[in-house]
Amino acid sequence: MLTLTALLISSPAQSDYVTVSSTDGQPLEDAVVEIYYEPSTSPMTTEVQSVYQRDATFHPHVTTIPTGSHVAFPNQDTTRHNVYSFSAAKTFSLNLYLQETPEPLLFDQPGIVVLGCNIHDQMQAFIVVSDAPFAAKTDASGMLALPTLPAGSHRMRVWHPRLDDSQQVWWEGEVVADTSPSIQLELKAVAPPKPPLSPLQQRFRDAG
């Protein structure tokens, strides 16, 4: 397994943000950033989030929610899907269904929830359930606007699906108020893609 390294560089900025990239300089989308601090206002009541299925793919690939949130799993395909997770933060299995979306599930434990479909092995997505006052993910440019932080330094964690094979490892460090940190993560190698199913295999799997 590749080792994990990170570089944290802080510099004053008019608009504070965090930038997350790989060690070769590529911006990392869907990197989840948590910051622990004492917020000036109470967090708002969470709404039901959705992770939907279309073209045998979960959308979005990474979802970040506060602990205690509910998530629905609509199926927008014309084939049935199963949604399951064996993760410690949430273990569940939704039986095969089409458009009759099951009731939203409660995610009441913090952690990384890895989603799969036992009919389509290539389907995978992640729900990051967070206790942090601030938790959000980077955009396609690897950037994320930071909240207004109290003076001083604050604990910060960063996660990305390719940090390690277990998909449970976090980079940990600190962020100082009124700075814009830049973080570099060493990612694990990408596994070679599996060969596509033949039309007959696909019909067999979809009929399951």
pLDDT of residue 43: 62
Where residue 199 falls among pLDDT bands split at 50, 70, 90?
A: low
Residue 13, pLDDT score: 41
* Residue the block writes with tokens 């277990």: 166
- Reported as a single tens digit per residue, the pLDDT across 27-79 is 999 999 999 998 876 666 678 999 999 999 999 999 999 999 999 999 999 99
pLDDT in tens, 86-129: 999 999 999 999 988 999 999 999 999 999 998 898 999 999 99
Q: Which of 28, 27, 6 is nearest to 186 (CA)?
A: 6
* Other C-beta atoms lying within 10 Å of the C-beta of residue 195: 6
Give backbone dihedrals phi and psi of 204, rounded to 5 degrees, phi first: -65, -45
Q: How far apart are CA 199 and CA 22, in angstroms?
A: 37
Of 142 and 4, the structure prediction assigns the larger pLDDT to: 142
pLDDT greater than 80 at residue 200: no
Q: What percent of the chain has pLDDT over 90?
A: 73
Confidence (pTM)? 0.84
CA angle 138, 10, 147 (to 5 degrees): 50
Output the pLDDT for position 97: 93
Residue 165 has pLDDT above 50, yes or no: yes
What are the chain's domains? Answer: 1-43+139-208 (2.60.40.1120), 46-132 (2.60.40.420)
Task: Check whether the bond before 60 is cis (ω within 30° of 0).
Answer: yes
* pLDDT of res. 76: 94
Least confident span in 15-24, 71-80, 170-179, 184-193? 184-193
The yes-or-no verdict on residue 2 having pLDDT over 60 is no
Instruction: Identify the weakest region by mean pLDDT among 125-129, 154-158, 163-167.
Output: 163-167
Based on the number of CB atoms within 10 Å of its own CB, is 50 exposed (0-12), middle (13-18) or buried (19 or more)? middle
Report the alpha-carbon distance of residue 36 to residue 111 in Å, rounded: 15
